[in-house]
Amino acid sequence: MSILSFFNNLLGVKKETQEEIMKKFLVVGLGNIGEKYDNTRHNIGFKIADALVKEYDESFTTEKHGDLVKLKIKGKTVFVLKPNTYMNLSGKAVLYWMKKENILIDNILIITDDLNIDFGTIRIKAKGSAGGHNGLKDIQDKLNTSVYPRFRFGVGSDYRKGGQVDFVLGTWSNEEESALIERIPTSIKAVESFVNAGLANTMNTFNGK
């Protein structure tokens, strides 16, 4: 027995098997903290994360670098995280919780807004560029790779030239609010599919919907 194993046994620290590690996931909704950002397009990651947690009758607690909750989804352990580091520093929270909970990079899912996709459309990918999104850029920098699963929720591009920032930090229109009533439950199903059916099946089922 190694010294590390000896002390782990002494302290009651359970060594995880590969099978146990494979059953752990980290779902991260991106957004900015603060009331003024609550209902903005840029905070769709928070909105989907909130809806997912509510679906399982759980609630977030404030932990290091964000609000966190642990869910059980069909035998899988799913940590849902809303970073409190602000959008542009999201990678710090993602990396911290990946390391702390020993979660594989293939088992993380980053939920974010996307200006280049029609409103309400889902696009899930295994890798890709940050596409000008500062939250994804910081995650890529902190993880030192662009190969990690991401869930892009289209917010559209109905803004005048130069009005990108105001648009993403703006609140949903009444028409969008009505459409979100249907789009949010679909997004929850997509997250559950990622956990239960895997990335490839989820992309085939939900992309473009």
* Residue among 41, 42, 123, 133 flagged as catalytic: 42
* Ligand-binding site membership of 37 (annotated): yes
* Ligand-binding site membership of 88 (annotated): yes
Q: Which domain holds residue 88?
A: 17-206
Selected residue with higher pLDDT from 18 and 141: 141
Q: Please give the pLDDT value at position 164.
A: 85
Residue 104 above 90 pLDDT? yes
- 12 located within any domain: no
- 177 located within any domain: yes
CATH of the domain at 97: 3.40.50.1470
Q: Please give the pLDDT value at position 9.
A: 53
Q: How many domains are there within the chain?
A: 1
CB count in 10 Å sphere of residue 92: 17
- 11 located within any domain: no
Secondary structure class of 128 (helix, strand, coil)? coil
- 3 located within any domain: no
- 41 located within any domain: yes
| Residue 133 falls in the annotated catalytic set | no
- Residues 59-96 have pLDDT tens digits of 999 999 999 999 999 999 999 999 999 899 999 999 99
State the Cα–Cα distance between residues 34 and 46, nearest whole angstrom: 11
* Ligand-binding site membership of 56 (annotated): no
On whether the CB atoms of residues 113 and 44 are closer than 8 A, the answer is: yes
Read off the pLDDT of each residue in 156-167 and give the average, rounded to a whole number. Answer: 83
Read off the pLDDT of each residue in 10-37 and give the average, rounded to a whole number. Answer: 84
Query: Considering the entire predicted model, what is its pTM?
Result: 0.90
Read off the pLDDT of each residue in 37-43 and give the average, rounded to a whole number. Answer: 95
- 6 located within any domain: no
Read off the pLDDT of each residue in 168-187 and give the average, rounded to a whole number. Answer: 95
- 149 located within any domain: yes
Residue 138 above 80 pLDDT? yes
* Ligand-binding site membership of 134 (annotated): yes
Q: How many residues comprise the chain?
A: 209
- 7 located within any domain: no
Cα→Cα distances 138→88, 151, 174, Å: 6, 16, 32
Read off the pLDDT of each residue in 132-153 and give the average, rounded to a whole number. Answer: 95
